[in-house]
Amino acid sequence: MKRTFKVVPAIALAIAVIGGVAEAQTIKIGVNEPLTGAFAASGTYVVNGARIAADEINAKGGILGKKLELVIEDNKSNPTEAAAVAEKLITSDKVPVLMGAWGSSLTLAVMPKLMEYETPMVVETSSSGKITTTGNPYIFRISPPSAIEAAAFKGIVDKLELKKVDFLVINNDWGRGTAEDFSKMMKEKGIAVGAVETMDQGAQDMSAQLSKLKGTDSETIIVTTAVDQLTLIFKQASALGLKKRIITTGGSQNPDQIIAQAGAAANGTMHLTTFLPWFPDKTPNPEATNYFISEWKKRGFDFAGCTESFRGYDGIRTVAAAIEKAGKAEPAAIKAALWDIKIKGLNGDIVFRKSGPEGKESGQSQPNVYLIEITDGKIGMKTL
Amino acid sequence: MKSGVAILTVVAFASVPLWLRDPYLMNALITTGIFIIGAMSLNLLLGFTGQLSLGHIAFFGIGAYVSALTSLGFDVGLPFGLRIVHVPWPPIVGFVLAIVIAGLCGYLVGLLSFRVRGAYFVIVTISFAEVVRLVALNWVELTQGPLALTNIPSITIGLPGLGDLTLRTKLQNYYLVLSVAVVTYLLISRLVHSHFGRAMRGLMENETLAVSVGIDVTKTLTLAAVISAGIAGAAGSLYAHYIRIIDPEVFAFINTVTMVIMVITGGKGSLAGPVVGGMIFGLLPVFLRPIMAPEAQWIAYGGVLIVILFVLPRGIVPSLAQRFAKPRSRAETVAPVAFAERDAKEHA
Amino acid sequence: MSEFLQHLINMLVLGGTYALLGIGLTLIFGIMNVVNFTHGVLYTFGAYIMFIVVQQLGINFFLALPLAVVAGWLLGAAIELTLLRPLRGSDIDTTMLVMIGAWIAMQSGALWIWGGVAKSVATPFPEAPLVLGPVSVSWLRLFVLAAAAMLIVVTYLLINRTKLGCAMRATFQDQDTASLMGVNVDLIYTSTFAIGSSLAAAAGALLGPVYVIFPQMGDLAAVKAFAIVILGGLGNITGAVIGGFILALAEELGAGYVSSGYRDAMGFLIIIAVLIFKPTGLFARSERVG
């Protein structure tokens, strides 16, 4: 899985150097993801998912008669690098469209470059509301911002009979955004909101926060963070004898990894996810889900990563569909085509609706949100 | 003496946009240039006063935030029911304020350096940078915390009689950064060759002797810290208006490390050191990118650092200078403190 | 009240491992005057050794711990011999930067070999915690506290009751005199770095199974180690131990009662406060070094 030599960009560079290439033999999609740094694990999952999509498309003949080529660059989990990488992909590699950049601050750093070079980007994971509301018409997002997640959760909330909730969120835009949007939704429903505790991105010991939450009068804790911290939170909560109901959000939960690493501590926890790799038949597109999962397993990847990598898969398929619709691999045409496509993504229809200030709207798709529960080390749909 | 080389270098840099057409490399040069300015300011503390500051990114980041907030405006509540509302001002004002406020913070750190030295100073500066990062992260009302300050406007310069010029393109930003870098270099050069500069070096070489000769330790160190911080703040401001998004990750330790690497490999205590070190380590990632896997790039980066330090422990520029050195007045090399003393007496 | 007691228990457990980290670094920092940025990597290394030995090789958990300590000792000695000894006599910043280079290279190496996905280590302890009235603590953490305490005692005995320890203390006080007295300073330096590194690896080996293991886990640990060293005074082992517990207490109470967002800032705030008011550390008896 670890390659020591990047063949694809090296060839692309060679072509550019030798040729002054007049006619491209492939259609390129720029992939701007964190492969090193704090988000390396997630970025790698997304890239591997993207590769499955590209290979699938190429096996069926490619797009517009040409092969799809993913130009993958590492943004090192760093906003400055993310912007530099976008620049390189657009100006040096001449990609007509990008997918990226995983984290919200990474995506935000890339956005001015998209405006400058008038190139569209499909955002596959970032959740900050700002991305689609600051008036950047080159952004097309398939992942849900916390506001949409909160809206989707609204329907479930009554059935769970929540009375008062606390929040324990990661101290970044994703966590804080979730706390804000979910709080608003809860209050509208008459549910009281108690404490809002945060934890630093790299923190491993949340015992202090959990001890505090153990003593409050809320019966539920909403937790938003990535799988590593979730594992720690469950273990530490269990060690503290914390018996409240825990619901996680955000879509980066990787429940299989949690079960494997937190063991019994994970039982009884519920998770709001955006993909159901365990129940392919319950997903909106069972055939594609089954294909994706079998390919993923065939390549020897960690099954736990499916809940993140499917976004890379859907992202590339979205881009490919737009290129097909546009009829040519050019930024302006692809951008226009993105508004017209409708494909069956792995967790819902991908259709872009307008979001943001008038005249410069971004595209936002509305994926499904599911509630699952871990019982006795197994994942099940929460029956309500 | 070296001015011929210096002028040639500036001309070479100025001519780059004429033949380099690749925007990606231009972008890399601009961000490298910004960090080189930061490195030069660090060199003032590190190379000329011997104070090892590992929190230098704090001044850079503070400059960035001050400049961004000045040009975006903010509305924040303070204790006791006070509320401050600020309307956006032109970015150029932000640039000036960044220098002032960063310089002020430098003053505070300078005061601290009077009490602690060496290894302790290192730790205290790291702590300072971390606390600033956590404040930026948690004081969401002011800094937007992790939600980031976005849509920061580009710098606009008012040209008398010609109207306003907004520096939006790469070309314009390149020359802006180059100008600030040249001005910084000249400023530091003047400072170092003045009696103040000799006082700094005297302190570094032999503090007890320097004090006995009349050099005011606190004043010298504090002034050096203020100037150093102010310049770093300027670099931070340039960064904010070029990248146009600032989040608390700007305070990450890796950014201080980048500047420290530039200074020490280039040669601390030499004026050209940070520039040389900066060009190498700012552009190294760009060259490693197409030829190695991402993880391997970092390993190579660390490896190159170690190799340079082993082969040229004093840094590239001093090592090269030694090879081509003409014998200087022996007195001056041997006893800069004596010269500081002479200067002190003259200005008494 | 029960929340406060819970915080206290948390603090005790955390403090033990912080103390281990701090002792290792204070020895290196104090005796060798090296700003050791690889300390965090050794911590990470100890944790990954546990992963390899327990999860991949299937060896007993309790046997794996000493293996991790030994591995840390070896890696530390290797680093000292290849990177530090040739630079003996150079500026403190050159050495520091070499340590930074090694840190970057090793951490990226860990990422390359094991990937960024966090790993966990199975432990033989029951998952249900021990409940004492209103407070709970997991068996694993109690074990960690006990193991840390044992290692602290062993180190203390090593430094204060053995010939090697005596030589180390002599070198700390005055390197030249010690050398004149027949102390092999080279050997002392290598031993110090190796011992300090093995303590960091031990802390990682103990905490890895408590938390999860990933390449950047050592970064935060390293910074806290620096805080503890400052608190306790350079080269002062007792100070480092007490400093470890003080830091843990400040973090627990700070996060619990002040603001969880600033939890990890506690260490830094302490550093700044101590250095403003008592630069030699709370417990240092000897003069200010550096």
Task: Tell me the two tokens of residue C227.
Answer: 């805080």
Q: Which residues of C fall within a CB distance of 8 Å from B253?
A: 219
Does residue B245 surpass a pLDDT of 50? yes
Q: What is the pLDDT of residue B34?
A: 94
- B216 vs B219: CA distance, rounded Å: 6
Count Cβ atoms below 10 Å from residue A330 Cβ, excluding itself. Answer: 15
Higher pLDDT, A346 or C78: C78
Q: Is B14 on the interface with C (CB under 8 A)?
A: no
Could you read off the pLDDT of A204-239 as tens digits, one per residue?
888 888 888 988 889 999 999 988 889 899 988 888
Q: What is the pLDDT of residue B312?
A: 85
Q: What is the pLDDT of residue A89?
A: 94
**For residue B113, is it left (φ>0), alpha (ψ between -120 and 50) or beta?**
alpha
- B177 vs C290: CA distance, rounded Å: 37
Q: Which residues of C fall within a CB distance of 8 Å from A204?
A: 211-212, 217, 220
Q: What is the pLDDT of residue B340?
A: 56
Does residue B272 surpass a pLDDT of 50? yes
* DSSP run (H or E) holding C140: helix C139-161
The proportion of chain A whose per-residue pLDDT surpasses 70, expressed as a percent, equals: 93
Q: Which residues of B fall within a CB distance of 8 Å from A46?
A: none
The proportion of chain B whose per-residue pLDDT surpasses 70, expressed as a percent, equals: 88
Q: Which residues pair with A245 in a beta bridge?
A: A220
CA Rg value for chain B:
21
* DSSP run (H or E) holding C152: helix C139-161
For B28, which of A4, A84, A172 is closest by C-beta distance? A84
Q: List, for chain C, all residue ranges whose pLDDT scores fall below the cut of 50.
A: 286-290
User: What is the torsional sign of CA A146, A149, A151, A154?
Assistant: negative
Q: Which of A331-340, B49-58, C159-168 has the lowest mean pLDDT?
A: B49-58
The number of C-beta contacts closer than 8 angstroms across A and C is 112
Does residue A1 surpass a pLDDT of 50? no
Contact B177, B279 (CB under 8 A): no
- C40 vs B290: CA distance, rounded Å: 30
Residue-wise DSSP of B196-225: HHHHHHHHHH-HHHHHHTT--HHHHHHHHH
Give which of B109, B70, B74 is closest to B90, Cα–Cα.
B70
- C17 vs A197: CA distance, rounded Å: 25
Q: What is the pLDDT of residue B163?
A: 63
DSSP H helices, B268-347, are: 273-288, 294-311, 316-323, 330-334, 336-346
Q: What is the pLDDT of residue A17?
A: 52
Confidence of residue A2 (pLDDT cuts 50, 70, 90): very low
- B184 vs C281: CA distance, rounded Å: 38
- Find how far residue A377's CA is from the centre of its chain: 25
The proportion of chain A whose per-residue pLDDT surpasses 90, expressed as a percent, equals: 35
Contact A355, A365 (CB under 8 A): no
Q: Which residues of C fall within a CB distance of 8 Å from A302?
A: 117
* Average pLDDT of chain B to the nearest whole number: 82
Does residue A164 surpass a pLDDT of 80? yes
Question: Would the CB atoms of C261 and A171 count as touching at under 8 Å?
Answer: yes
Mean pLDDT of B323-342: 58
Does residue B125 surpass a pLDDT of 80? yes
Could you read off the pLDDT of B157-196 as tens digits, one per residue?
766 666 667 777 778 888 889 999 999 999 998 888 888 8
* Range of the structural domain that residue B23 is part of: 2-347
User: What is the torsional sign of CA B36, B245, A365, A171?
Assistant: positive
Does residue A67 surpass a pLDDT of 50? yes
Q: Which of A350-364, B98-112, C274-288 has the lowest mean pLDDT?
A: C274-288
Q: What is the pLDDT of residue C287?
A: 40
- Find how far residue B188's CA is from the centre of its chain: 11
Question: Would the CB atoms of C252 and A207 count as touching at under 8 Å?
Answer: yes
Which chains lie within 8 Å of chain A at 3 or more CB pairs, if any?
B, C
Q: Which domains, and CATH codes, for chain C?
A: 2-277 (1.10.3470)
DSSP H helices, A123-167, are: 130-133, 146-160
C-alpha dihedral (A172, A175, A179, A185), degrees to nearest 10? 120
Pairing mode of beta strands A245-249, A362-364? unpaired
Q: What is the pLDDT of residue A311?
A: 92
User: Scanning every residue of chain C, which has its alpha carbon at the shortest distance from the alpha carbon of B50?
Assistant: C93
Higher pLDDT, A34 or B312: A34
The conformation of residue A105, written as its DSSP 8-state character, comes to H
Query: Both ends of chain B: CA-CA distance in Å?
Result: 30
Q: Which residues of B fall within a CB distance of 8 Å from C101?
A: 302-303, 305-306, 309
- B126 vs C272: CA distance, rounded Å: 10
Q: Is A91 on the interface with B (CB under 8 A)?
A: yes
Q: Is B21 on the interface with A (CB under 8 A)?
A: no
- B67 vs A256: CA distance, rounded Å: 45
Q: Is B300 on the interface with A (CB under 8 A)?
A: no
Question: Would the CB atoms of C276 and B298 count as touching at under 8 Å?
Answer: no
User: Scanning every residue of chain A, which has its alpha carbon at the shortest distance from the alpha carbon of C219?
Assistant: A202
The C-alpha of A290 sits at a distance from chain C's nearest C-alpha, in angstroms, of: 24
Q: Which residues pair with A98 in a beta bridge?
A: A30, A121
Q: Is B180 helix (H, G, I), strand (E, B) or coil?
A: helix
Domain count, chain B: 1
Q: Is B283 on the interface with A (CB under 8 A)?
A: no
Q: Which residues of A fall within a CB distance of 8 Å from C264?
A: 200, 202-203
Q: Which residues of A fall within a CB distance of 8 Å from C253?
A: 208
- 3-state SS, A212-250, equals HHHCCCCCEEEEECCHHHHHHHHHHHHHCCCCCEEEEEC
Mean pLDDT of A181-195: 91
Contact A246, A223 (CB under 8 A): yes
Mean pLDDT of B335-348: 56
Task: Tell me the two tokens of residue A152.
Answer: 């989707």
Higher pLDDT, B134 or B62: B62
- Kindly report whether the global pTM for this prediction surpasses the value 0.90: no
Question: Would the CB atoms of A87 and B23 count as touching at under 8 Å?
Answer: yes
Q: Which residues of B fall within a CB distance of 8 Å from A84?
A: 24, 27-28, 31
Give which of A125, A177, A122, A176 is closest to A147, Cα–Cα.
A177
Q: What is the pLDDT of residue B114?
A: 64
- B133 vs A245: CA distance, rounded Å: 33
Does residue B139 surpass a pLDDT of 80? yes
Question: Would the CB atoms of C3 and A205 count as touching at under 8 Å?
Answer: no
The conformation of residue A276, written as its DSSP 8-state character, comes to -
The C-alpha of C122 sits at a distance from chain B's nearest C-alpha, in angstroms, of: 28
Question: Would the CB atoms of B134 and C264 count as touching at under 8 Å?
Answer: yes
Does residue B30 surpass a pLDDT of 60? yes
Could you read off the pLDDT of B185-216 as tens digits, one per residue?
999 988 888 888 888 877 777 778 878 887 77
Does residue A23 surpass a pLDDT of 70? no
Contact B79, B86 (CB under 8 A): no
Confidence of residue B237 (pLDDT cuts 50, 70, 90): very high
In this predicted complex, what is the ipTM? Answer: 0.78
Q: Which of A361-365, B19-23, C211-215, C274-278 has the lowest mean pLDDT?
A: C274-278
Q: What is the pLDDT of residue A123?
A: 94
Q: Is B265 on the interface with C (CB under 8 A)?
A: yes
**For residue C29, is it left (φ>0), alpha (ψ between -120 and 50) or beta?**
alpha
- Find how far residue A95's CA is from the centre of its chain: 22
User: What is the torsional sign of CA B71, B72, B78, B82?
Assistant: positive
Q: Which residues pair with C152 in a beta bridge?
A: none
Which chains lie within 8 Å of chain B at 3 or more CB pairs, if any?
A, C
